[in-house]
Structure 1
Amino acid sequence: MDQLGIGFVAYSPLGRGFITGTAEPAGQYEATEIRNVDPRRQPGNFEKNIEAVDRLAEIAAAKGATVSQLALAWLLTRGEHIVPIPGTRSPKRIQENVGAAGLTLTDTGLKAIDEILPHGGFGARCTEGHVPTWI
């Protein structure tokens, strides 16, 4: 993307609630809620994702940060063309999110994060049929 001079907006950079600790497994939402079919919330994947976030929380705590700040700081290391857009419903979360910009991640820290989530999460990001098609 740098070579093309374009940017990438990283939507749902906090894992649709996993990183903030508000995720529930599939079946815990209203019947019409799309999160009930989210592959990352299905049995087997959900538990692995929660475990991964717990491990990330240990890294964040050692830096005096939240796991949300760690995740956003990691995104900010991916290059200037990546712009995370975390959703928020409170001023407290906005302040927390902004704090990610001051968090420094070392090569060792980045490697530890990559070892915990080498593919960005357990289970597909989207359900079959809802995956974007790139031209």
Structure 2
Amino acid sequence: MIYAQKGHGRRSNLYTDYTFAVKDGDKLVPFTKAYTGLTDKEFAQVDSFIKRNSIEKFGPVRTVKPELIFEIAFEGIAASNRHKSGVALRFPRMNRWRTDKKTEEINTLDDLKNMLTIYNQQSGVVEAGEL
């Protein structure tokens, strides 16, 4: 997680909307946002971390020390010119908070693009350059 925003409705007092990144060499590249999948207790714990570990604030968005690792589940993946990663996820959600993982173990941009290639092969989609 690299960015956080306060939620809506009953969670408007907590940071519950998160942006996640993958590694690209020494950089972190944002690839998706998610705001569902954690328990109320986990959201409260992450909110506390965000409040203690915010680096910058841009309007409602806080840049957070990239120390929390989450497993992201999704329904589909597609190439995207609109996203910095070049990939868009369909219905992303936090599957679980990976307290057992270190930041050095997060996925890379290449991992994400490999998932896209595998998804396209399984769904019968042909990528440009494969013809």
Bigger fraction of residues in helix: 1
TM-score relative to the length of structure 2? 0.28
Higher strand fraction (1 or 2) = 2
TM-score, with length taken from structure 1 = 0.27
Higher relative contact order (CA 8 A, sep 6+): 1
